[in-house]
Structure 1
Amino acid sequence: MQSDKLRLIWIYPDLLSTYGDQGNVLVLEQRARRRNIPVETVYVRSADPIPEQGDVYLLGGGEDRPQILAAARLRRDGGLGRAVERGASVFAVCAGYQLIGTVFGGEEGQPVEGVGLIDIGSRRGERRAVGEIVAEVDPELGVPTLTGFENHMGVTDLGPSVRPLSRTVVGTGNGDGTEGCYSGRVLGTYLHGPALARNPGLADLLLSWAMGVETLPPIDDTWHERLRDERLGTVLGRQ
């Protein structure tokens, strides 16, 4: 950590905050405080500069026009890229996931330049992926099975320096049998839900990266596990 507080940066809530993705910020706040870790959360609107001294940067989903505008402003600002170079973590969801790559599909499917934090490219698919998703996480990350909700038309191709976050059991994800990706401490996913409420292990992975530790003290996850069990049981029971 760069200061005496864990600093969370919620990027452009006025542009990128669909399907309750702000809940990801709330989950990180709660899980840190329950471990007596001081937290400061900074909400950065699209007219404001990106602070470069954050520990975890979060981006949510959004519609086509806000996504294009957000990408352009982040490219001009440059603060997020400098924060990543400094060692900060990034958690990006859906539209936020697409725009941290090199290119994504615009309103009419035209290529739009991304921020270029990781080597992925997204394009518009032929069908919208809507519904529950279940995916098995890369064993290197030590995170249990993911559960979430997807609603997108994106197809995302991963470059050689990027690893899939998980492999789909149910749902579409990236469109090739994988879901999401990660490179260093930059992690992206199509999962809403909010993703971190439904996957506390993923939240703790981000916190451990920010704290520079391999494991965190355990906390009571009864409510989260009940939600996970209900969702996983419902989705997998339909097969």
Structure 2
Amino acid sequence: MPSDSALRIVWIYPDLLSTYGDQGNALVLESRARLRGINAEVVHVRSADPVPETGDIYLIGGGEDRPQILAAERLRRDGGLHRAIARGAAMLAVCAGYQIMGSTFGGEEGQPVDGIGLLDIASSRGPSRAVGELAAEVDAGLNLPTLTGFENHMGITHLGPGVKPLAKVLSGIGNGNGFEGCYAGHVVGTYLHGPALARNPALADLLLTWAAGDLAPLDDTRYNQLRQERLDAVLSH
């Protein structure tokens, strides 16, 4: 278990939801915190374990239909994530994990399945699979550069008045309505894999800022070169 003074990064249900390298989000946060002298440790919470309420940043990834349904059921029963977010913890939810955060999502046959109601969103199954690179211009209120990542899902996600769109789609599908993801308070939902925080270090730093306060700058020259190469390739088509 991490020490009381450590920044706690809680990776939820890696045994159910961890596709396309989403666990890399935890590694990126831990690394970027430690490069700044912040003691950070990752707590892996398997689906048989209770979700601790003392985390600082919570992460949940993507997965297949059946593990997604099981994860939603267990998170509803557990309640620990709701209590952690209510006391101000930050969170990044990706793809299947993003859909779980809402009121409903599409099951194995497209049937509505109850989510956990943490975000004011509702998802359903779309007519075709969205697969490929995704680029999106972030809401001005977050002051982040253009997002880049990879999407592979059949979801259509509708946003209620309790959330804001995370970004406007420049290339790709995202939520299916011209926008990608959403945010409310310190909770961010997205369809971006890659993993998302490796492709978008400024988003990682936003989560860290919410959890730990102002951060010292890092030299992201190489990150930014690779990001720009990817964005140029995607947006040129």
Quickly name the TM-score band, shorter chain normalised.
over 0.9
**Distance (Å, rounded) in 1 between the aligned partners of 2:4 and 2:186:** 19
Cα shift readout 1:176-207 (whole Å, capped 9, x = no counterpart)? 00000001111100000110001011000000
Letter in 1 for 2:229: E
Rounded to whole Å, the distance in 1 between the matches of 2:130 and 2:66 is: 19
Residue 140 of structure 2 corresponds to residue 142 of structure 1: no
Partner of residue 217, structure 1: 216
Letter in 1 for 2:224: E
Shift of 1:216: 1.6
> Can you list the C-alpha shifts for 1:38-61, whole angstroms capped at 9, x where unaligned?
002100000000000000000000
| 1:85-234 → structure 2 map (5 Å cutoff) | 85-211=86-212, 213=213, 215-234=214-233
Return the offset for 1:155: 0.2
Distance (Å, rounded) in 2 between the aligned partners of 1:176 and 1:44:
33
The answer to whether 1:27 aligns with 2:25 is: no
Q: Cα offset for 1:150?
A: 0.3
Structure 1 segments (4+ residues) deviating >4 Å: none
| Residue type at the aligned position of 2:154 | M
Query: Which residue of 2 is the match for residue 68 of structure 1?
Result: 69
The secondary structure found in structure 2 opposite 1:164 is: strand
* 1:194-236 alpha-carbon deviations (Å, 9 max, x no partner): 100010110000000001x3x4211111231122012101111
Report the CA distance between 1:3 and its aligned residue.
Answer: 4.7
- The one-letter amino acid paired with 1:219 is L
Distance 2:165 2:21 in 1: 24
Q: Which residue of 1 aligns with 2:50?
A: 49
CA distance in 2, matches of 1:197, 1:227: 11
Structure 2: distance between partners of 1:72 and 1:224: 38
Partner SS for 2:63: coil
**CA offsets 1:107-160 (integer angstroms, 9 cap, x no match):** 000000001101100000001000001100001001100000000000000000
Cα distance in structure 2, aligned partners of 1:27 and 1:180: 20
Structure 2 letter corresponding to 1:170: S
Q: Distance in 2 between matches of 1:114 and 1:22?
A: 22
Q: Percent identity?
A: 69
Structure 1: how far apart are the matches of 2:186 and 2:103?
17
The SS at the match of 1:76 is: helix
Q: Which letter does structure 2 place at the counterpart of 1:168?
A: V
Secondary structure of the corresponding residue to residue 5 of structure 2: coil
Name the SS of the counterpart of 1:35 in structure 2. Answer: coil
Distance 1:227 1:16 in 2: 27
Q: Provide structure 1 residue ranges, at least 5 long, that are not aligned to the other structure.
A: none
Q: Write the deviation string for residues 47-86 of structure 1: whole angstroms up to 9, x where unpaired.
A: 0000000000000000000000000000000000010111
